Amino acid sequence: MTRRPVVAAFDATGSSGTFGTPAPSRHARHWPLTLAFAAVATAFTGCVSLAPEYEQPPLPVPQTFPESGTPSNGANTLSAVQVGWKDYFTDPVLQGLIAEALDYNKDLQLAIQRVEEARAMYGIRRADQFPTIGVEADLARARVPAQLSGYGVPVTASQYQVGIGLASWELDFWGRVANLKEAALQNYLATDAARQAVTLTVVEQVANSYLSLRELDERITLTQQTIASRKESYRIFTRRHEVGAISRLDLKQVETLWRQAEALGAQLQQERATRVNALQLLVGKPIDMPHIDVKLDDHAVMRDLPPGLPSDLLTNRPDIVAAEFQLRGANANIGAARAEFFPKITLTGAFGTASTQLSDLFTGPSRAWNFGPSVSLPIFDMGRRESNLEVAKSQRDQAVTSYERAVQSAFRDVADALAAREWLAEQVETLRATEAAQAERARLAQLRYDHGASPFLEVLDAQRDLLAVQQQLVQTRRAYLSSRVSLYAALGGGGFATSAPGVMGSESDTNGATVSPGATHAISPEIAAPGTGTPSAKPAPKASRAPAAAPHTP
């Protein structure tokens, strides 16, 4: 609330306003001195920061990943963050599903809305660095009884005033407001990095769900072929049984094989329907997923990736980027807590006109102003400030631990994905050889049975084992492709946005803290300008829209 201009009490005749005429014009010579004081105070605002100097924690993991067993192409290879999802996932159907998920996935939309909230909170903290100036117009009229007027007659007084007022504005000599703004900025950036982590998770989940559907389609096709073959065998064996060429036991064994294949087919169809529902939930809208008869090819879905170095994760993994932003924000909160131990200096003032007559309100002699700096310093608070500082330090230590845990978790994710990629590839090759051997075994068993050299039980076992190894091969090939999807996500696969100039990189804030830990993830357009209050951006209707970003602050 602005402070009204101070004026005199009554005029000599007793017929003018309650608050009388403005202060004599000779006081106007003090106004330039007041402005000079305010300008000097503003120049020194925020020059001191009590936040500790930020130091990035050491890398709590080995310098290299375990050997993946997959050779790279040397200088021609690209890191995961340089490969967009459209370049990495080459299957056009999968590309369409991912694009729709990035537009309609509800988890991603919630993440974007959280970014909008954090951006608005940063705008509030940023506005605290600037004075709040308002325009006010007042009319006051009062009657003083004769017993109190001092003139022996009742006095009716009026006052009109118009002015521009400066609300209580803290001069941030010790960086308290600047550090609070820095903490809000880092929280905003951390929230945006978390949004990118959700984006990467959605891409990974959609890709894995699609691969699971392709696996089921291939297994269903394989099972349907087996059902048709066994049904035909049952028809032939029925004719042979009718003429007495085979026993009823052999006929029932063939029927058992046929019915088992039909049961497996129904089970796979039920699993596919469930997977389609799960994929539809991920995408966020109804989808049409017809059965795909094309065999799932190892190279038609995605490209290869080199693992890179663990240090790459610090800028590629959005969860690590978010953890470091949180650490920087906790570091800034220590500076704000330390500033509470020093005097708080605030300015309050107003400038305008005041008069007892409306006709004289805008004349030269009606000019009025006031200016009032104040200093406050708590002397006794029962240890509240010390405890507040300890809380800030504890939160900083927790942020360090969370950052180190995020790095270690990311290292494990990459190591697990590399191990899975290597050993699943070996399993696929082994199962392919096993399938070929099992197919030959089934052929020989059938040949021996046809010549009466072995019972049908031998054929039964061979055909069961062949179907089992065929199903296992399809599942293992899908697991191998999923390991490559997991590796892409674990390495912080990029291509979701581009870096915004003036936000990411080496820009520094007013208290000397670096705005970004070096992440290449995006944050773009605008925070409200000083004095405008709230940002103008509105929540995105689709999840693919990047949230607004904090620009380089003054």
Give yes or no: residues 9 and 123 share one domain: no
User: CA geometry: angle at 469 spanning 467 and 471, to 5°?
Assistant: 70
- Pair 143, 158: CB distance under 8 Å: no
Torsions phi, psi of 142, nearest 5? -145, 155
Which positions ≥6 away from 463 have C-beta within 8 Å? Answer: 230, 257, 442, 445
- Write down the residue that tokens 């050299």 correspond to: 453
Give yes or no: residues 256 and 117 share one domain: yes
Q: How many CB atoms lie within 10 A of CB 69?
A: 12
Which positions ≥6 away from 458 have C-beta within 8 Å? Answer: 445, 448, 449
- Which token pair is 456? 């049908």
Give the separation between CA 500 and CA 195, rounded to whole angstroms. 16
- Which token pair is 11? 């005029």
Residue 546 lies inside a defined structural domain of this protein: no
pLDDT of residue 114: 95
Burial of 463 (0-12, 13-18, 19+ CB in 10 A): buried
Give the separation between CA 19 and CA 228, rounded to whole angstroms. 104
Give yes or no: residues 6 and 97 share one domain: no
Torsions phi, psi of 260, nearest 5? -65, -40
Give yes or no: residues 438 and 337 share one domain: yes
Residue 11 lies inside a defined structural domain of this protein: yes
Residue 303 lies inside a defined structural domain of this protein: no
pLDDT of residue 317: 87
- Write down the residue that tokens 């699609």 correspond to: 210
User: CA geometry: angle at 184 spanning 178 and 189, to 5°?
Assistant: 125
**Would you call 285 helix, strand, or coil by DSSP?**
coil
Q: Measure CA 373 to chain center.
A: 42
Closest CA to 178 of 509, 543, 495, 439: 509
Give yes or no: residues 336 and 485 share one domain: yes
Residue 227 lies inside a defined structural domain of this protein: yes
Give yes or no: residues 240 and 266 share one domain: yes
- CATH number for the domain that contains residue 11: 2.20.200.10
Residue 547 lies inside a defined structural domain of this protein: no
Give the separation between CA 188 and CA 548, rounded to whole angstroms. 10
Residue 136 lies inside a defined structural domain of this protein: yes
Which positions ≥6 away from 407 have C-beta within 8 Å? Answer: 59, 60, 61, 310, 313, 314, 320, 323
- Pair 413, 486: CB distance under 8 Å: yes
- pTM (predicted TM-score): 0.76
Give yes or no: residues 157 and 102 share one domain: no
Give yes or no: residues 212 and 106 share one domain: yes
176-242 helix and 92-104 helix, angle to the nearest 10 degrees = 140
DSSP single-letter state for residue 340: T
pLDDT of residue 240: 87
User: CA geometry: angle at 185 spanning 181 and 189, to 5°?
Assistant: 170
Give yes or no: residues 114 and 242 share one domain: yes
Residue 36 lies inside a defined structural domain of this protein: yes
Q: Measure CA 476 to chain center.
A: 33
pLDDT of residue 501: 28
Residue 186 lies inside a defined structural domain of this protein: yes
Give the separation between CA 301 and CA 504, rounded to whole angstroms. 33
- CATH number for the domain that contains residue 415: 1.20.1600.10
User: CA geometry: angle at 241 spanning 240 and 244, to 5°?
Assistant: 90
Give yes or no: residues 1 and 20 share one domain: yes
Enclosing domain of residue 281: 80-128+175-291+317-341+388-492
pLDDT of residue 149: 77
pLDDT of residue 550: 45
- Which token pair is 306? 């080199």
Give yes or no: residues 325 and 406 share one domain: yes
Question: Considering just the CA atoms, what is the radius of gyration of the chain in Å?
Answer: 38
Tens-digit pLDDT string for the chain (554 aa): 333 333 333 333 333 333 333 444 444 455 454 555 555 555 555 567 888 888 888 878 777 777 654 444 443 456 677 788 888 898 899 999 999 999 999 999 999 999 999 999 999 999 988 888 888 888 888 888 888 877 888 888 888 888 888 788 888 888 899 999 999 999 999 999 999 999 999 999 999 999 999 999 999 999 999 999 889 989 988 998 998 888 899 899 889 989 999 999 999 999 999 999 999 999 999 999 898 888 877 666 777 777 666 666 667 789 999 999 999 999 999 999 999 898 888 888 888 888 777 777 777 777 888 888 888 888 888 999 999 999 999 999 999 999 999 999 988 998 899 999 999 999 999 999 999 999 999 999 989 988 888 888 888 889 889 999 999 999 999 999 999 999 999 888 865 543 332 333 333 443 434 444 444 333 333 333 333 333 333 334 444 444 444 444 43
Domains: count for the chain: 2
Give yes or no: residues 184 and 113 share one domain: yes
Give the separation between CA 354 and CA 6, rounded to whole angstroms. 9
User: CA geometry: angle at 43 spanning 37 and 45, to 5°?
Assistant: 100
Q: Measure CA 394 to chain center.
A: 24
**Would you call 45 helix, strand, or coil by DSSP?**
coil
